[in-house]
Amino acid sequence: MQRRIYGVETEYGIIFTPEGRKTLPVEKAIRFLFEKLITTEHFLNVFLENGARFYQDTGCHPEYATPECASPRDLVIYDRAGERILEDLQHYAEEKIREERVAGKLSIFKNNTDFVGNSYGCHENYLVDRDVDFYYLAEQLIPFLVTRQIYAGAGKVFQTQEGIHYCVSQRAQHIYQKISGTTTNDRSIINTRDEPHADREKYRRLHVIVGDSNMSEYTNFLKLSTCAIVLQMIEDNFINKDFTLRHPVKAIKDISYDTTCKRKLRLENGREYSPIEIQREYCEMAKRYIEQYPVSDQLKEGVEKWEHVLDCLDDDPDRLDTKIDWVIKRKLLRSYIQKHNISWHDPRVFMIDLQYHDIRTDRGFFYLLERKGQAERLFTDAEIEKAKTEPPQDTRARMRGDFIKLARQNNIQYDLDWSNIRLGNLLNVRVICNNPFETDTEKVTELVRTIQRTNLRRTSLSKLVIQS
């Protein structure tokens, strides 16, 4: 597919640290986050004016799902816009907590693990052609996903029985299956969930749950664009080498513990490759692919960055200390340890690790580095600010976002999901849009005009369905 829909679902960690005897349950803090967004929709499940969805996930995690995006570039911008939306809600929640006369600190983290060993995810979604065999696609993609953590990992200080380890990935330690249908207990590299939120006969949604949540725009763009080009090569049967790993679940953990990225992995055919070598093979195929097939400029840019990053990893990963999350964070930790003459076992090291992921721009360590020019930017604050309220203009999200604005301006009751808009006093008028590339907002605008002109209490519209 040359045109593809992308999405990311990010689960955030949330902690309230009391400064006295009186405390606040996390559940109540989350309710304060959502309180500002109260509409006619379900209280803890809200679609936003930018087309995204904000809701509470399992385990008291606020979750932000980006609107449908048509490019990796837009996806990174809307993912980061989610951080800024959540930061605004955090400020509101802190005001409500003060009104409750509870002293303490509310913190929200864009990471994947807590202090007691729980993991929460960052799930990538890619629209794929239904004609491509799912299990063939998954088997082709798994070696790439297992090894891409060498540039897509967020980094983590782990306490193990053998001592302290700085690992490349946070999520890798919590993967137990190659492919499965669950996202919690037996987490897999690829999830089998078949909810395309689109025409089921044409499309499938590939649900990748193995990735880390990234703070770095550079890392995030690289993670998404490289996966997109590999998917396109698989769909076009361009990949002609077999990198099937003998033990992919073990390999994903082994790679995470090796910050040299050069430890050899055994393939099913008996050959041995390092993660860098496997990624290099995929990258070289991608370079040949873009010479023969139509590929977007963004994916070409992703391949250029991919080659550069692999060259740096092969030579010295520290060359990426402004680009790649796990390298940026490791430099921060090493600097702090050296400055204060402490060991990796010091509790302050674990706190800095966590504080790297704080979404508050005034106290998160990643944003401190970014302001100092020590974390590379790809996008502007203006682009991210616009994405907080404006939906993508080239996907179905435009219809959803524009409708939400119109409905709120005109006090129209509504409910919606990714493919349906229901409105009216009885929610008996429905707009269906199974085409995620649809952008015709005039249909939605006309429907709102119709409702404004029509007294729904006297007119039966129960059979009115607009099909997009």
Q: What residues are annotated to the active site?
A: 57
CA distances from 168 to 18, 49, 146, 200 (A): 32, 36, 12, 37
Residue 253: how many CB atoms within 10 A of its CB? 17
Residue 446: how many CB atoms within 10 A of its CB? 11
Beta bridge partners of 208: 124, 190
Rg (CA), the chain: 23
Residue partners of 1: CB distance under 8 A and separation at least 6: 127, 128, 129, 231, 232, 235
CA distances from 303 to 287, 411, 454 (A): 7, 47, 54
Q: How far, in Å, CA of 27 to CA of 195, rounded? A: 28
CB 327 within 8 A of CB 320: yes
What is the DSSP code string of 102-147?
A: --EEEEEE-SSB-TTS-B--EEEEEEEETTS-HHHHHHHHHHHHHH
Q: How far, in Å, CA of 145 to CA of 248, rounded? A: 10
Phi and psi at 167, nearest 5°, equal -105, 155
- Does residue 164 sit in helix, strand or coil? strand
Of the candidates 374, 378, 244, the one whose C-alpha atom is nearest the C-alpha of residue 302 is 378
End-to-end CA distance of the chain, in Å?
A: 21
Phi and psi at 190, nearest 5°, equal -125, 135
- State both tokens at 85: 């939306």
Residue partners of 157: CB distance under 8 A and separation at least 6: 164, 165, 166, 167, 333, 344, 349, 350, 353
Of the candidates 122, 128, 189, 123, the one whose C-alpha atom is nearest the C-alpha of residue 5 is 128
Phi and psi at 305, nearest 5°, equal -65, -40
Q: How far, in Å, CA of 149 to CA of 154, rounded? A: 8
Bridge-based pairing of strands 163-167 and 177-180 is unpaired
